[in-house]
Amino acid sequence: MKKANKDQERKYHMNEKLRLRYSKVKADLLDLEEDTTNTVTSQLRELAKETGRGISSVERLKDALLDEADLLEDASEIFSRMHTSTRQSADEIKTRIKEAEQYEKESDAKHRLFKPNPTNAMIDYAEDSSNHFARGNTFYKLFWIFFIGCFAGVIIEMIWCFIRTGHIENRVGLIWGPFNLVYGLGALALSYCLYKYRNRSPFYSFAGGFVVGSIIEYFCSLFQEMVFGSTSWDYSHMPFNIDGRICLLYSIFWGILGVLWIKEIYPRLGRSILKIPNKVGKGLTWVLLVFMLIDSLASGLVVYRWSKRVEGIAPQNSLERIIDQSYPDKTMEWLFPNLEFKASDNT
C-alpha cells in the first residue's frame, strides 16, 4: 500500500514538473515570437529605406537578412515537428480515454451475451506482459493476420453473397482450402499501415484505409490481368473510376473498413492470436507459411493452364495433362465463378 502511494506521489510530482516546464517553455516561445517579429519588421523597414540608394546600401543588409531567413526556416522545421508530435500525443490521450471509458461501460452492461471488444491498448499491454511471440507489428503477427484474413474473408463474402442472392457462391482464390489471397493481403496491408494509428482517432484510420485499400485493389487487378489475362471485377460503369480497377465509392468503403478493421476487428484478432502458445506458435507459423506458398504456386499453375486451355492450346507436357485431368473447366468454373478471361488480341 505504501509502495502504491509512493508511486502515485512520484507520478504526481513528474506531471507537475512537466506542467511547470511546459509553462516556462510556452512563455519563452511567446517572447521569442514577439522578439522575432519585431526584429524582422525592423530589418525589412531598413531594407525598404536603403533600396534605391545603390547596390552597396542593399548589400550591407543582405547577409544579415539571409542569415535571419535561414534561422527562421530551421526554427520552422523544429516547431513543425513539435506541433505534429504534441498534436498526436494529445489525440492519442483523448482516444485512449474514450475507448477505455467505452470498454468499462460495455463491461458493466447487464445481460451481455459476449465479452466486450478489447481496446488496442489492452492488446498492446497483454502482448508485452506475456512476451508473446507475435507481439507488436512483427512478421509473426502479420502472418497470422494474413492467414486468418485469407480464410475469414472467404466465409464473410460467401455469407454476404447468400444474403443478397439467396444462393452460395464460391469466393476462394486458391485450389486447396477456403482461402483467398486478396483478403489476406488486404488484412495484412491494413494492419501494417494502420498499426501506428491504432490508438488514434478514427479519422486517421479512414484516410489510411481509403488510400491503402485503393492501392491494393488497383494493383491486384493489374497483376491478375497482366499475368493471367483475366479480371475478377470491373468498375468501368461506376463514376470516378480509374481504369475500371478502382472507383470512389469502393475507395470510401475501404476507408470505412479501415476504421472497422483497426478499431474493431484487429483487437479481436490480436486477442485470438494471444491464445496461441509461445511453444508452438513460431513453428506452426512456418508450417502454415510453407503450405500457403505451395498452395499459391499450385493455384497459379492451374489457373495459367486454364487460360491456355480457353485459348485452345493443347497440353505440352505431362504436368499440363495432369492439371487438365485434375482441374477440368467445370471444376475451375465452380472454384472461380467470377474469373473472366479477356479476349486475346489474336482472336
Number of domains in the chain: 2
- Say if residue 127 is in the same domain as residue 112: no
Residue 344 has pLDDT above 60, yes or no: no
346 occurs within a structural domain: no
So what's the pLDDT on residue 347?
Answer: 43
- Say if residue 178 is in the same domain as residue 282: yes
Instruction: Band the pLDDT of 157: cuts 50, 70, 90.
Output: confident
- Say if residue 158 is in the same domain as residue 86: no
Domain end call among 65, 98, 116: 116
- pLDDT (tens digit per residue) in 177-223: 999 998 898 889 999 999 999 999 999 999 999 998 899 889 888 88
- Say if residue 315 is in the same domain as residue 177: yes
- Say if residue 85 is in the same domain as residue 21: yes
For cell 507488436, what's the residue? 136
Q: Which residues of 63-95 are buried (b: 16+ CB within 10 A; e: fewer)?
A: eeeeeeeeeeeeeeeeeeeeeeeeeeeebbeeb
- Say if residue 95 is in the same domain as residue 143: no
Residue 230 φ/ψ, nearest 5 degrees: -135, 165
Domain end call among 62, 89, 116: 116
So what's the pLDDT on residue 124?
Answer: 93
- pLDDT (tens digit per residue) in 91-107: 999 999 999 999 998 88
- pLDDT (tens digit per residue) in 48-71: 887 777 677 677 777 778 888 888
Helix (H) or strand (E) holding 100: helix 55-108
Q: Which pTM was predicted?
A: 0.73
Instruction: Band the pLDDT of 148: cuts 50, 70, 90.
Output: very high
- Say if residue 174 is in the same domain as residue 61: no
**Cβ partners under 8 Å of residue 15, min gap 6:** none
Compute CA 117 distance to the chain's CA centroid, rounded to the nearest angstrom.
20
- Say if residue 143 is in the same domain as residue 86: no
Cell of 236: 468501368
So what's the pLDDT on residue 4?
Answer: 53
Q: Which residues of 7-25 are buried (b: 16+ CB within 10 A; e: fewer)?
A: eeeeeeeeeeeeeeeeeee
Domain end call among 116, 147, 166: 116
- Say if residue 29 is in the same domain as residue 78: yes
So what's the pLDDT on residue 115?
Answer: 78
Q: Which domain holds residue 93?
A: 2-116
Instruction: Band the pLDDT of 13: cuts 50, 70, 90.
Output: low
What is the residue-averaged pLDDT of the chain? Answer: 86
